[in-house]
């Protein structure tokens, strides 16, 4: 049995992602005897805005989100 291995390094910026996704496909063939394909979809890791919490009291156990109190 013979094994072959390869690797890919890609410095990705926003230009290689379409709609926040990058699709990679590897296709292995041996003449017409063997064919196998694997696909991997990566999602762009972009910063997300965190919800902003209002002031809280350290003793109440409540957090203030806008005008609603959540326990």
In a domain, 25, yes or no: yes
Task: Give the separation between CA 64 and CA 52, rounded to whole angstroms.
Answer: 9
Q: How many domains in the chain?
A: 1
In a domain, 62, yes or no: no
Task: Give the separation between CA 60 and CA 71, rounded to whole angstroms.
Answer: 9
pLDDT one-digit tens code per residue, 13-60 = 778 888 888 888 999 998 999 999 999 898 887 777 777 776 555 554
Total length of the chain? 71
In a domain, 24, yes or no: yes
Give the residue numbers spanning the domain of 33: 15-44
pLDDT at 71 over 50: no
Task: Give the separation between CA 14 and CA 6, rounded to whole angstroms.
Answer: 25
pTM: 0.48
**E runs forming strands in the chain:** 21-30, 34-43, 63-65, 68-70
Judge whether 40 and 23 are in contact, CB under 8 Å.
Answer: yes
Confidence band for 9, pLDDT divided at 50, 70 and 90: confident
């Amino acid at each position: 049995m013979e094994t072959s291995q390869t690797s890919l390094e890609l410095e990705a910026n926003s230009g290689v992602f379409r709609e926040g996704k990058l699709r990679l496909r590897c296709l292995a063939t041996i003449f017409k005897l063997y064919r196998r394909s694997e696909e991997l979809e990566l999602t762009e890791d972009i910063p997300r805005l965190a919800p902003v919490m209002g002031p809280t009291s350290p003793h109440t156990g409540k957090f203030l989100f806008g005008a609603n109190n959540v326990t």
